[in-house]
Structure formats: C-alpha cells, structure tokens
Amino acid sequence: MPRQIFKNKVIAAAGPLPGSLTVENLKRWTSIRRGQFVDGFDETVTHLLCTEEQFNKRVPRVKEALKRGNRAHIVHFDWFEVSAVNEKRQRESEYSMRDVLAKKNAARRERERVERGKREGERFVNTNLYHIYSDRTNFYYQFDIRRDDESSGQQGQRYQLCLWESNAKPHLYWFTAKFLKRKGDSQPTYHRPSAHSGKWRHEMDLMTDFFRKKTGIAWEDRVLLQKTTPGSFFQYTPPAGGKSVGRRLSLPYEDCLQKNAELRGLPWPPPEETQRQTLTEVEPGEEDGPRPLPDPDEHEAGDGDDVSSSTAEAELTLELATPLTPKSLAAEHPTDVDVEMVDAESPSATTPNARMMDQNFEMPTPPDDISDEPNRDASPILVESAVE
C-alpha cells in the first residue's frame, strides 16, 4: 500500500506533461496516495506541475500561479515522479520553478552589471574593478559640490567628485569628476585628469586641487569656510548628523563650526543645539511635573502643636545670631565619652595632610613601568602620618 505522501494536497498541471504523466495516471497515482488531482486551476490548488518550456512561455496557468504568490507551488514535473517512486514527498524548494527564475534573474542582473561596468570604463571608471575609497574615519570620498547663482542664471549645476580605490592589491587610486549642467541632466560630462590609476598621494592632490579651483576653498578649510564664498563658486556642504567629515581639517571640528558661525554672523551655539542641551540638563523626574511635598516628620510642628509664627521667627533669629563654637556644638550633642576639645587655631589641630599642603608638598609622579611602582609602606604621606 503506497504511503500517504500527498495527503491534503491538490495538484494540477499547467499543460500536457511528457512520458506516462497523463491526466488519468496522475489522478490515479495521486488518489492512492491520499491526494487529489484536478483538471482545472483554482484557489484550492497547492501544487502546479509544469515543464521548463511551459514556465518560460508563461502559459495561462503559470501566469495565474505567479500572481497568487507563494500560495501555490510551481514545481517541475520531476517533483511528482521522484516523490511517487521514492514514496517520500520531496522538498518543493529543490524543484521550484520560482527559484529557477530567481537564479536566472540574478544571473541576468550580474551580466548587466558587468556590461554596465565595462561601458563606464570606456569613458569613466570600470566599477567592476574599482570601488569608492573611504578613510580610517569612514568618510567616503564621493560627494557633491553645487552652484545656484541666480545672477548669472547658473542654477542646479553639480559636480560629483570621486576618489576610487582598486579592488586588487596593492591598491591603486583614480580621481574623477562628473558634471551635470542642470537638475535631471541625463547626459553628464566626465572629467578624468589621469589616463590611468596611480598612487594615492598623486590622485588625492588632483582631487584637492580641483576642489580648490571650483569652490575657492582649500580642502583643509572645507568646514571652516563653508558657505562663505560668493555665489559664483560651487558650494560644499559637509556631512551632518554625526557623520564623518574626513581627516585633515585646519582646526578641530568644533572649532571650525564655531569660527564658521562667527564669519557668517550666526549665533553660537546654534539655537537647536542650545535647546537640545537644555533638555538633556533637566533632572530626572522634572519632565513628569511637580512632585508632592514630603510628609512632616514627628518632631516637626503638626496640627496639635501650638507654635506661633512670631515665636518661631524669634527663635530662628536667635539661633542664627549665636556663633557656632566647638563648646556650643558639644553642648548641643553631648556624648557619654569625654572628648577633649581642641581650639581650632591650635597648631596641634592641623592634620599632617594640611601641613604638607602648606609646605607646597609635591605629589610623586607615577612611574612608567608598573613594576617600578613605589612600595605603599614607603609613601611619604603614610610615613608622616605614622610620626604624628
């Protein structure tokens, strides 16, 4: 008796199948394995059998199954034969025509990418062999400089500067620039000063020199002097939001921002940053609203205490007028142990640490090697404390 490998499965065919897989045989072989084979194709079908030719031609049932998404398996007819012969239902993924289609599409996209890279290499850079260079701060050397000069009518102009790094090692580098005359320009022009890739220093110098000519700003001043040049120059906007701005700045990053704000007459720090700092300085719980006052302790005045406000003010004034001395403190806080009160101006009341500070005591510098660290018993502070 065959096993029930097709139980609760509804199987259909996309068209005529080769060999002995006729409709009559498919119905009988499916039925004895507790499955169901149908002539039509509806929402109940779980598996659609087809040939590779039927799938490639997109016969009507294949089209309908593709529209249904993953609700119906589109499998090669070998799935049915192998499952029936081995009396074990095979994995649909190994016979799925969708996976075959996905693999073909992936191969097609890869071929298109390679061809596109070759075409780019004829006039620009072969992207199959090069990628955008990034420095140790994770700054990618692909950025735009823009010009919107209304007086001259030069609006929407943009250069995209790139510094490429070869996939192969040792790395070679290549500077390029792509110019778009207006927004949405579909025919950019390319600038590639070097006929071939070279060392990093040479290509980096080409990029910084091009940047200086177009923006009027040295590469090291790209943050310090941003948006300070006339509109006839191209403008560079550094990355914001915590992103890396690259290395080799003329001043530390925060100093560059502050100096730039002073040059442009902008407030520093920016209003949004000041507001953000104010929000972060709020104590925990303050944003939840006012908190209730604590309940009075037992020793504080309650409803049963008959204390007038004038009497309380007089006692408070008397306490503030009375100077605090060691004897008065001892009288307020008596103890069972006899404590010898020492006058604050007595030399014996000065602690060893205080005397050492008066003598401009100089703390020892920790040794570079931890193995040479001085013995704790020989510390000058501990020795003088022991003498006292």
What are the residue ranges of CATH 3.40.50.10190 in the chain? 10-101
Residue 187 DSSP code: S
Report residue 350 as tokens: 């000065």
pLDDT for the residue numbered 271: 82
pLDDT for the residue numbered 35: 95
CB 256 within 8 A of CB 225: no
CA of 127: how far to CAs of 8, 114, 161, 165, 246, in Å?
A: 51, 8, 15, 10, 23
Residue 25 DSSP code: H
| Residue partners of 349: CB distance under 8 A and separation at least 6 | 342, 343
pLDDT for the residue numbered 84: 93
CATH level 3 topology of 10-101: Rossmann fold (3.40.50)
Q: Is 238 left (phi over 0), alpha (psi -120 to 50) or beta?
A: beta
Distance from C-alpha of 126 to C-alpha of 321, rounded to nearest angstrom: 88
pLDDT for the residue numbered 364: 44
> What predicted TM-score, i.e. pTM, was given to this entire model?
0.52
Pairing state of beta strands 154-166 and 142-149? antiparallel
pLDDT for the residue numbered 331: 52
Per-residue pLDDT tens digits of the chain, which is 388 residues long: 789 999 999 999 999 999 889 999 999 999 999 999 999 999 999 999 999 999 999 999 999 999 888 889 999 999 999 999 999 999 998 899 988 888 888 888 899 999 999 998 888 899 999 999 999 999 999 999 999 877 777 778 999 999 999 999 999 999 999 999 888 778 899 999 999 999 999 999 999 999 999 999 999 999 999 999 998 899 999 998 889 999 999 999 999 999 999 999 999 888 876 656 555 554 455 444 445 545 544 444 444 444 444 444 444 444 444 454 545 444 544 444 444 433 434 444 444 444 444 444 444 444 444 343 334 344 443 334 344 4
pLDDT for the residue numbered 165: 96
CA R_g for the chain: 42
Distance from C-alpha of 126 to C-alpha of 116, rounded to nearest angstrom: 8
